[in-house]
Amino acid sequence: MELERGKGLALWRQIQKALEQDIVEGIFGPGDKLPPERLLAERFGVNRHTLRQALNTMTRKGLVRAEQGRGYFVREDMVHYSLARRVRFRENLSRQRREAEEEFLGWEVVQAGRRASEALMVRPGTSLVHLRSVGRADGASLCLNSHFFPHARFPDIAERYGCCGSVTASFRALGIADYTRLQTLITARMPTAQEARLLDQPRSKPVMELESVNVDRDGVPIEYGRCLWSSDRVQFVVEAGVQHLS
């Protein structure tokens, strides 16, 4: 593309419009990496300073994201994830016509620490079943899950989860027809190297950590969860009437 020079519209603005048109036309799709700065500068016949003005504006508009040492990427469509009294991973995604997948990473029996024991209302050191999984939307890693259940009440939940890949279905098979969210705590932090690898994102990008407690129909805690979400791929929606959301 040849830029119009001396016509009143800044060169970087013309570059911005050209790149945005490339995105609209699908030349660069969601998640695609833009060409390196050197090649883009050559394409438009400008220096890198002028090019970066265009890229920085597109970043502020939320059209692209910059990853240190890797370049610029077209932003993926955000998943709008509802936080309500009944939070269900697969239902949340299916309402948006997205394909949900949960990859089972493994399980172990652990002793309840302070946070888990308080959440599940058990004594510290109580045996818990700890399940780990990665949640994906349309094949893209979305969240890294740690689920904790009282071992005395759900000794077979790991086997159930391994078969169906769903906490809701596992509960149903074990006699829990319904459960609701008692509390959700949201914080932001930087991921560890392993967490970033499992979420398929750079360590320089923050994650949102959700700690949650689910209870059965009698109000008895049955699950304590810690879930790390890729902040570039999800937007949380707090529905009106949500109870005990912190």
Q: Which of 182, 168, 205, 172 is nearest to 73 (CA)?
A: 205
Tell me what pLDDT residue 138 has.
85
Specify the residue for token string 């009437």: 241
Tell me what pLDDT residue 245 has.
40
Cα-to-chain-centroid distance, residue 162: 22
Please indicate, yes or no, whether the overall pTM of this predicted structure exceeds 0.85.
no
Give dist(CA 217, CA 177) in Å, integer.
9
Tell me what pLDDT residue 97 has.
85
Tell me what pLDDT residue 204 has.
85
Show the low-confidence residues of the chain (pLDDT under 70): 1, 6-7, 239-246
Q: Which of 164, 181, 169 is nearest to 223 (CA)?
A: 181
Q: Is the distance from CB of 73 to CB of 33 less than 8 angstroms?
A: yes
Tell me what pLDDT residue 2 has.
72
pLDDT tens digits, one per residue of 181-209:
999 999 999 999 999 999 988 888 899 99
Q: Which of 73, 32, 62 is nearest to 235 (CA)?
A: 62
Give dist(CA 165, CA 188) in Å, integer.
27
Give dist(CA 83, CA 181) in Å, integer.
9
List Cβ neighbours of 65 (8 Å cut-off, separation of 6 or more): 59, 72, 73, 75, 232
- Can you tell me whether residue 150 is helix, strand or coil? strand
Give dist(CA 180, CA 1) in Å, integer.
56
Tell me what pLDDT residue 67 has.
82
Tell me what pLDDT residue 1 has.
62
Tell me what pLDDT residue 77 has.
76
- Per DSSP bridges, beta strands 79-83 and 234-238 are parallel
Q: Which domains does the chain have, with CATH numbers?
A: 11-74 (1.10.10.10), 79-238 (3.40.1410.10)
Tell me what pLDDT residue 246 has.
37
